[in-house]
Amino acid sequence: MRFQDAARDGRAVVYAGIQAEPVVARAASLLADAGPAQRVLARAVMNGESTDPAGWMAMFPTLFGADVAAGPERARSEAILATSLEVADRGEQVRSSVRGAIVEALTAVLLERRVGTAAVRRERRILFDGVRAEIHPYDVTVERDGAAEAYDCKWGARGINPDVLHQLDDARGHAAEEDETLRVALVIFDAERSCRVRMERQTAPTAGTGLIALETLDRLASG
């Protein structure tokens, strides 16, 4: 088993531009330290129709209510709201790409806390002897001898589909055939309940694929 940079085709070049947007790194940094309610706020605002901050603050009284004192947590909520509105203000297609890039960047930030920066890579293919390489790269990989990991990241539960489940499960299986360990998982910036509903409908294999949902993102950092 070996890792390789993905081909720099047109799609990759355009997407690299999205990934490099400052708002992506800023959002990932904020969400890495956020609590569950703050992450739901980000999901709602970036999915939302309204761009009125006061309306969103009223919708989240546990984050912005009169009884929430000024301090680091409230400041983080305010920063998440401002950053999320910046994303929501984009056109629908760009917004969708930015949201995806944020989930990937957030995944990388959390993984780096556990395994260090050098081991975490983006947009990598995984090659196995005698197996045709997958066209689509893995969003985030952890590249360590004997403890490799591969993650596919999605903004919502609806992004869970047979192609991604097969790709992850195939990689895990091919690694096992080479006596390598490859942990594979989906990272979904959506509630676990929604993800489970989506996964129950799939006929593709799911047993060997982990699920990291909105409520459990911090497991990426803790293992």
Partner 1 sequence: MTDPQSISDLIERALTGYEALTALGEDIEDEWSYVNDLSAAWTDRLTAVAAARSATAASPAEIVAVDRALAEIDAITDPHRAIDWLSTFPQVVLVALREAS
Interface positions with partner 1 (CB under 8 A): 36-37, 40-41, 43-44, 47-50, 55-56, 58-62, 65-66, 156-158, 190-194, 196-198, 200-201, 214-215
Give min distance, CB of 99 to partner 1, in A: 10
Q: Phi and psi (nearest 5°) for 185?
A: -160, 155
Nearer to partner 1, 142 or 186 (CB): 186
Query: Which residue, 129 or 200, has its beta carbon nearer to partner 1?
Result: 200
Q: State the nearest-atom distance from the C-beta of 15 to partner 1, in Å.
A: 21
Nearer to partner 1, 137 or 159 (CB): 159
- For the bound state, the minimum distance from the C-beta of residue 215 to partner 1, rounded and expressed in Å, comes to 6
In whole angstroms, the minimum distance from the beta carbon of 123 to partner 1 comes to 25
For residue 169, give every residue at least 6 positions away whose Cβ sits within 8 Å of its Cβ, in sequence order, or none. 184, 204, 205, 206, 208, 209
Contacts of residue 93, Cβ cutoff 8 Å, sequence gap at least 6? none
Closest CA to 155 of 88, 69, 67: 88
d(CA 141, CA 138): 7
CB of 110 to partner 1, least distance (A): 19
Nearer to partner 1, 4 or 50 (CB): 50
Of residues 199, 200, 173, the one with CA closest to residue 186: 199
Q: How far is the CB of 113 from partner 1 (least distance, A)?
A: 24
CB-nearer residue toward partner 1: 101 or 175: 101
The contacts of residue 208 (CB under 8 Å, 6+ apart) are: 169, 172, 173, 184
Residue 2 pairs with which residues in a beta bridge? 127
Within 13 Å of residue 3, how many CA atoms lie on the same side as its CB? 21
Quick one: 16 or 94, whose CB is closer to partner 1? 94
